[in-house]
Structure 1
Amino acid sequence: MTPSEVAAGCTVDFPLLRWRSAGNWDVPAWAALIARTAAVEKPVWFEHEPELEQIMESRKNPPERNTVLGFDPDGVARAYARLTKNSDSEKAYGFGCVDPQWQRRGVGSALLEWLEARTRQRFAEDAQAGGQATERVTAAPRLRIHNEQQHGHQAALFARHGYEVVRYFNEMHRPLAGPLPDVVLDPGLELVTMGPELSEAVRLAHNEAFRDHWGSEPKDEESWGYVVNDPQARPDLSAVVLERGTGIVAGYQLAAHDAESAVTRGFSEGYTNLLGVRREFRGRGIASALLADAMRRFASEGFDVASLDVDSENPTGALALYTKMGYTPVNRSLAWDKPLTPTA
């Protein structure tokens, strides 16, 4: 049996499964595959149907060319891979999972090979379309994949295929029982609840604030939509600091809450998805005030902990700030990179 033809003409070299790109009708089966895998591997977070429905609407990364699902002879989804890339980026991101019943058969290796082949194609397509900056057109294609440190089988797979760890990230928790910090802003600033009227200004502030962060790329309207319209987004638990008089966004804290995780993890958490302060406003206690405000909002909802993730080498000193605010590391995740030979 020859390898199955799938998205963008790439193949998945594992003929025991039938491969094709994901369609809207596949979302329930796709979500069920991820949930079955998560029940065994117990990741901190995993995608549910609403998130997959958002992915299916992507214009930058259309699923018919950037996803692949593998089905067993009974039509049950057993594995998937997905690729995302911005047209002017020097890297692509890979995602995927394999049903625990189908692991250790070579499916993961086949999916990595598909992701690498599709990454080469995406770089070639973007270069041909003129969507990349000149210095990035000639750069070697690069694929980045993240995993949690607890998943040693994934790390072993990546290492066998030539991937190397390029960064570590810490998940941090701050218990909400007991006294909470109360940080006051200086008179030239005011804190308001996040609302849709602030969305575009916060997007621009985010792009500015994260310009010096490792691996960060500017968010356009589509990628920003995934943040503010995420089914787990909680604008009522999010806040923006504005400069009085000008209304300029100085900083922001965008929160989310996954109600289902309270069942699987045994505690409820308010999660700070994004926290940023523009350069010209740094050093004025804005991040501390936003975190203190978030804790109080989370506590009022009855959550057990405030949580966030941070780059272990964050250039703004965020790790030290979070530690000072009472956060402690509880989990670690890794970013793996592999430079690829360009398509001939």
Structure 2
Amino acid sequence: MNGHADPLASLDPRLRWRAAGTADLDDWAALIARTAAVERPVWFERRADLEQVLESRKNPAAANTIIGFDAQGAARAYARITKNPDGEKAIGYGCVDPEWQGRGIGTGLLGWMEARTRQRFAEDAVAGAAARLRLHLEQQHTHQAALFGDAGYRIVRYYNEMHRPLADGFPEAVLAAGLELVGFGPELHEPVRLAHNEAFRDHWGSEPRDEEAWGFVVNDPLARPDLSAVVVDQASGRVAGYQLASHDAVSARLRGYKEGYTDLLGVRREFRGRGVAQALLADAMRRFAAAGMDKASLDVDSENPTGALALYTKMGYVAVNSSMAWDKEL
């Protein structure tokens, strides 16, 4: 165990714990859905997302997931972490069945994630990096906020979920000369990955995405390449910017409206100030509306250094929900 405490030591003995496997997919997804039905998060993992988790080579499920089952074999709690081999943080995910909350199981899951994070940092041996675990939480989940605070986590960043009604019409946006807006297809997967890594290198908390991580983006079960677009520099053929979108039909039924969601929007530094982001967002709105969506939506770091929040507000987006990133240095 690399000289670190056994992660299993903190887990509640009333449940039987094991790493997630393919045979657990249905029970695992059902646990998350039961929890989401009560807690009503904006988004939650579905079976197809969990299949991707099990496919990861960087974060093999055998070592980085844990599920607790009751005596009848029902999944009642789970946790997992992900970490880039050279990354400066691990990110934790998890939930406890509402019927089993209030018994200290969540505290045990935090302990498991922290112990496993320490192991990962020891295994990866990143020079000068202190073990750090990051958790994301929506503002309305106050019971989890209390748990995180009591466990020594602190809020390090705020994010805004923003909506823009499509019935309000569309803003006009004109690209600078020499730039062309094109559809997003497989031939652009790698060029856009490289552009993304460049565009986000000055963003707080962002880490470069390798081929595996990018594969999870472009092959996401909710991804909608038909609602996505890329701006290309005609002279060089380089990707200047991109807008990658998704649509969640389950969320649409639960929330009562259809939204086209911009998962990623980025512009390379040398192309900023030439109308690229505005053109991509205006194009996204038109694509969303043509596909029958009611709203365009996205999330933005409230302290984004590129002035994204001001841009989105100018284009008619309004903040409707907040979430936070919580960190603990281990």
TM-score bucket of the superposed structures, by smaller chain? over 0.9
> Could you report, residue by residue, the CA deviation over 1:122-178 in whole angstroms, capped at 9, with x for unpaired residues?
000011xxxx3xxxx233211000000000000000000000000000000000003
Alignment of 1:170-319 (within 5 A): 170-319=160-309
Show structure 1 runs of 4+ deviating over 3 A: none
Amino acid at match of 2:185: G
Farther-moved stretch of structure 1 (179-188 vs 58-67): 179-188
8 Å Cα contact 2:56/2:212 also seen in 1:
yes
Residue 38 of structure 2 corresponds to residue 40 of structure 1: yes
- Pick the aligned partner of 1:10 from 4, 7, 27: 7
2:26 maps to what in 1?
Answer: 28
- Pick the aligned partner of 1:144 from 134, 139, 161: 134
8 Å Cα contact 2:230/2:241 also seen in 1:
yes
Take 2:306 and 2:290, find their aligned partners in 1: how far apart are those partners? Answer: 29
Take 1:66 and 1:211, find their aligned partners in 2: how far apart are those partners? Answer: 27
> Could you report, residue by residue, the CA deviation over 1:164-216 in whole angstroms, capped at 9, with x for unpaired residues?
00000000000000321121212210000000000100000000000000000
Take 1:179 and 1:65, find their aligned partners in 2: how far apart are those partners? Answer: 50
2:70 maps to what in 1?
Answer: 72
Farther-moved stretch of structure 1 (137-146 vs 35-44): 137-146
> Could you report, residue by residue, the CA deviation over 1:91-115 in whole angstroms, capped at 9, with x for unpaired residues?
1100000000000000000000000
- Pick the aligned partner of 2:89 from 88, 91, 96: 91
Count of aligned pairs: 325
Take 1:242 and 1:152, find their aligned partners in 2: how far apart are those partners? Answer: 44
Residue 39 of structure 2 corresponds to residue 49 of structure 1: no
Take 1:205 and 1:245, find their aligned partners in 2: how far apart are those partners? Answer: 16
Residue 319 of structure 2 corresponds to residue 321 of structure 1: no
Amino acid at match of 1:165: I
Take 1:338 and 1:287, find their aligned partners in 2: how far apart are those partners? Answer: 34
Take 1:138 and 1:260, find their aligned partners in 2: how far apart are those partners? Answer: 43
Take 2:52 and 2:129, find their aligned partners in 1: how far apart are those partners? Answer: 30
- Pick the aligned partner of 1:153 from 129, 143, 157: 143
Take 1:252 and 1:81, find their aligned partners in 2: how far apart are those partners? Answer: 33
Take 1:87 and 1:244, find their aligned partners in 2: how far apart are those partners? Answer: 36
Take 1:85 and 1:226, find their aligned partners in 2: how far apart are those partners? Answer: 14
8 Å Cα contact 2:157/2:324 also seen in 1:
yes
In structure 1, the gaps of 5 or more residues are: 1-7
Amino acid at match of 2:279: A
In structure 2, the gaps of 5 or more residues are: none
- Pick the aligned partner of 1:60 from 40, 58, 81: 58
Name the SS for the 1:90 alignment partner. coil
Name the SS for the 1:177 alignment partner. helix
8 Å Cα contact 2:162/2:297 also seen in 1:
yes
Take 2:25 and 2:107, find their aligned partners in 1: how far apart are those partners? Answer: 24
8 Å Cα contact 2:6/2:115 also seen in 1:
no
Take 2:119 and 2:252, find their aligned partners in 1: how far apart are those partners? Answer: 40
Deviation at residue 9 of structure 1 after TM alignment: 5.1
CA RMSD of aligned residues (A): 0.9
